[in-house]
């Protein structure tokens, strides 16, 4: 007598694997936000997540892969997209969420070559965002005047500008937004 076979489904296993990945990312994200990159270890993330270091490696490949997954999860440009009508408010929102961690990554860039591609991607993304967000303030014709306008808008909205205003000078979030908006407005008057 032939019995009909039911298809084998690994639903429970797949759910467990997904939950493990989320737990690892929870721990890694917290550690990358709170510590310098070179202080975060795969062994430390694994221990806090309750898995083996090999599980972390199998899932994310490397510490750089884990950083990239954590950054993707945070949505480094989330507020810029959500507040498209208020580009300065949006970029400050992004910096409030992950700016301190990014500043720590930048501080290690020369010592940790693996960070260079990650940070270069961030810089290129910021420049592309400036060109989109402030398109109406930039010269239409490609050339030195446009490049100058892009560069000054990048500086006015850069993470270092945020850090100087917010962390070094101790301005509130609202005052930081006001100061950066004033810079962007001044650039619009120059155009």
Question: Where do the domains of the chain lie, and which CATH numbers do they carry?
Answer: 10-74 (1.10.357.10), 76-191 (no CATH)
Work out whether the CA dihedral 10, 11, 14, 15 comes out positive or negative: negative
- The pLDDT assigned to 7 comes to 59
pTM of the model: 0.75
- The pLDDT assigned to 70 comes to 83
- The pLDDT assigned to 18 comes to 83
Q: Would you state the structure tokens that stand for residue 49, as one six-digit string?
A: 């997540």
- The pLDDT assigned to 30 comes to 87
Q: pLDDT tens, position by position, for the chain (191 residues)?
A: 566 666 556 687 778 788 888 999 999 988 888 888 889 999 999 999 999 999 999 999 999 899 888 877 776 666 566 666 899 999 999 899 889 989 998 999 998 888 888 889 889 999 999 999 999 999 988 999 999 999 999 999 999 999 999 999 999 999 999 999 999 999 987 76
User: Residue 84 contacts by C-beta under 8 Å, 6 or more apart in sequence?
Assistant: 90, 133
- The pLDDT assigned to 68 comes to 84
- The pLDDT assigned to 38 comes to 87
- The pLDDT assigned to 33 comes to 80
- The pLDDT assigned to 6 comes to 62
- The pLDDT assigned to 17 comes to 81
- The pLDDT assigned to 9 comes to 62
- The pLDDT assigned to 82 comes to 67
């Amino acid at each position: 007598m032939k019995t009909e076979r039911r298809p084998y489904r690994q639903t429970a296993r797949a759910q467990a694997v997904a939950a493990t990945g989320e737990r690892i990312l929870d721990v890694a994200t917290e550690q990358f936000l709170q510590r310098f990159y070179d202080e975060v270890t795969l062994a430390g993330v694994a221990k806090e997540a309750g898995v083996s270091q090999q599980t972390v490696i199998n899932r994310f490949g490397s510490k750089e892969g884990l950083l990239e997954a954590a950054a993707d999860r945070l949505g480094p440009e989330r507020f810029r997209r959500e507040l498209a009508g208020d580009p300065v408010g949006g970029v400050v929102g992004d910096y409030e969420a992950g700016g301190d961690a990014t500043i720590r990554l930048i501080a290690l860039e020369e010592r940790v070559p693996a960070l260079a591609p990650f940070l270069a991607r961030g810089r290129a993304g910021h420049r592309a965002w400036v060109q989109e967000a402030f398109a109406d303030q930039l010269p239409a014709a490609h050339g030195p005047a446009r490049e100058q306008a892009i560069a000054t808008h990048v500086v006015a909205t850069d993470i270092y500008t945020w850090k100087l205003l917010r962390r070094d000078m101790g301005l509130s979030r609202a005052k930081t937004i006001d100061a950066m908006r004033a810079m962007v407005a001044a650039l619009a008057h120059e155009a």
